[in-house]
Amino acid sequence: MSEKIVLDENSKNTLLDSIRTINDYPKPGIIFKDITTLLNNKNAFNLLMDHLEERYKSYNLDYIAGVEARGFFFASALASRLKIGFVPVRKKGKLPSTTICEKYELEYAFSEVELHLDAFNNEKNVNVLLIDDIIVSGGTAYAAANLIKKLNVNLVESCFLMNIAILDGAKKLSEISPVYCVLEI
């Protein structure tokens, strides 16, 4: 890996301006960051994807794992640009073949994510990047990172469009994976 490439402030502002904020969604007191307005903004989306391609082209990646569902957008687009494989990290019960799963805690319940046992074609020591749109508490990302590591591959970094720093999810995840967040909220 060469030097770690980060986005300049003007570009960060362009991305932030393309993300719609919706107050009190999905419940009162929540400020929701809607990335659909970034996805349908060709300039903002291409700015983000150009940045991620530039950052990760020297990481010698073999696969990009994207977390369901919004992580799929960025992970699959970047995998296509880098000409490498895309691996979906899905909610429990969504994958048709043999899987491994990891449980994580939500506010008042638990959930699970899973990977196919052969997600990385049974290769060992390949380089994998994990991508999702937002990290807040870090539960889903931490579970996804643990799954990837259980398959004996190298999780080189976990990448997020936004870190909502109120709950220290990125800090928790950094205990098991390097973390890069394009935007800090």
Q: What is the per-residue pLDDT across 66-77, written as a single tens digit (0 to 9) for each?
A: 999 999 999 999
pLDDT at 51 over 80: yes
Average pLDDT value over all residues in the chain: 94
Confidence band, pLDDT 50/70/90 cuts, at residue 165: confident
Calculate mean pLDDT across residues 143-148.
97
Q: Which of 25-34, 40-49, 90-99, 172-181 has the lowest mean pLDDT?
A: 25-34
pLDDT at 159 over 50: yes
Calculate mean pLDDT across residues 116-135.
96
pLDDT at 25 over 80: yes
Contact in structure between 113 and 104 (CB atoms under 8 Å): yes
Calculate mean pLDDT across residues 138-163.
96
Nearest to 140 by CA among 52, 71, 94: 71
| H runs (alpha helix) in the chain | 9-17, 36-39, 42-56, 70-82, 139-150, 169-173
| Residue 18 C-alpha from the chain's centroid | 19
Contact in structure between 104 and 120 (CB atoms under 8 Å): no
Calculate mean pLDDT across residues 157-184.
95
State the pTM of this model: 0.94
Can you give the pLDDT at residue 107?
Answer: 63
Q: Which of 74-78, 119-123, 148-152, 165-169 has the lowest mean pLDDT?
A: 165-169
Q: Which two tokens stand for residue 129?
A: 């990047």
User: Any idea which residue has 């807040």 for tokens?
Assistant: 136
pLDDT at 2 over 60: no
Cis peptide before 26 (omega within 30 of 0): yes
Nearest to 183 by CA among 1, 4, 10: 10
Calculate mean pLDDT across residues 113-136.
96
Confidence band, pLDDT 50/70/90 cuts, at residue 3: low
Dihedral (Cα; 76, 80, 83, 87), 10-degree rounding: 20
Can you give the pLDDT at residue 10?
Answer: 97
